[in-house]
């Protein structure tokens, strides 16, 4: 849906893994996004709004989104994520550490199944609006009206707590690229 939420999916709230720091207050500022694939890519995000700016974590946010896919999105559904952090005016690629950073995910469908077991209802507000949370995602248009979300306190790696970031996600591989999304944002933690 959006990269902030996608990023949060890979960082499970309340976990206590080594190298993670309990963040009591974080602000996400300057959130921006754009499609980065071909204009005729099968999967496109058409609209995305996130308010307020800055978003406080923990705290509430409102988001709406719309997108479409001209093909069914089914397993295996690979995603390549490239994350960069601005360091002294230069953009530095963040390596993949504990499945966070510039990582290749062989199958997003499998990750969704781990987060939301089959047979379990999709979380709100997806359930209310009849939006799927498991593969396959049928070809068609999807829309999430403005909805309220609560972002809880979470554990983040200490290197991810402050800075400017760029994240690019490419859905599919090689000649079978289905879509591409770029997001930029700043994180500021207390």
Mean pLDDT confidence for 5-26: 47
**pTM of the predicted model as reported, rounded to 2 decimal places:** 0.83
Overall domain count for the chain: 1
Query: Is pLDDT above 80 for 12?
Result: no
- Label residues 79-91 b or e (16+ Cβ within 10 Å = b): bbbbbbbeeeeee
- Classify strands 59-69 and 154-157 as parallel, antiparallel or unpaired: unpaired
Checking if the pLDDT of 14 tops 90, the result is: no
Please report, to the nearest 10 degrees, the dihedral formed by the alpha carbons of residues 62, 68, 74, 75 taken in order.
Answer: -50
Domain that holds residue 135: 3-13+20-189
Q: Between residues 2 and 161, which one has the greater pLDDT?
A: 161
Residue with tokens 């890979």: 10
pLDDT for residue 153: 85
Residue 10 has pLDDT above 50, yes or no: no
Q: How confident is the model at residue 26 (pLDDT cuts 50, 70, 90)?
A: confident
CA distances from 147 to 50, 65, 91, 143, 184 (A): 10, 9, 33, 11, 22
pLDDT digits (tens, 9 = 90+) for 82-94: 999 999 999 999 9
CATH classification of the domain holding 112: 2.70.220.10
């Amino acid at each position: 849906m959006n990269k902030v939420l996608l990023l949060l999916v890979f960082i499970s709230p309340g976990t206590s893994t080594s190298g993670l720091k309990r963040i009591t207050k974080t602000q996400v500022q300057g959130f921006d996004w754009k499609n980065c694939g071909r204009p005729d890519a099968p999967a496109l995000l058409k609209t995305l709004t996130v308010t307020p700016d800055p978003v406080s974590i923990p705290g509430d946010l409102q988001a709406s989104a719309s997108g479409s896919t001209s093909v069914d999105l089914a397993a295996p559904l690979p995603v390549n994520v490239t994350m960069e952090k601005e360091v002294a005016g230069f953009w530095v690629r963040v390596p993949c550490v504990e499945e966070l950073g510039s990582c290749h995910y062989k199958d997003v469908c499998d990750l969704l199944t781990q987060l939301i077991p089959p047979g379990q209802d999709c979380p709100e507000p997806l359930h209310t609006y009849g939006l799927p949370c498991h593969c396959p995602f049928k070809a068609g248009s999807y829309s999430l009206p403005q909805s309220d979300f609560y972002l809880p306190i979470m554990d983040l790696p200490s290197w991810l707590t402050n800075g400017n970031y760029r994240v690019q996600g490419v859905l599919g591989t090689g000649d079978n690229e289905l879509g591409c999304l770029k997001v930029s944002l700043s994180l500021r933690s207390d």
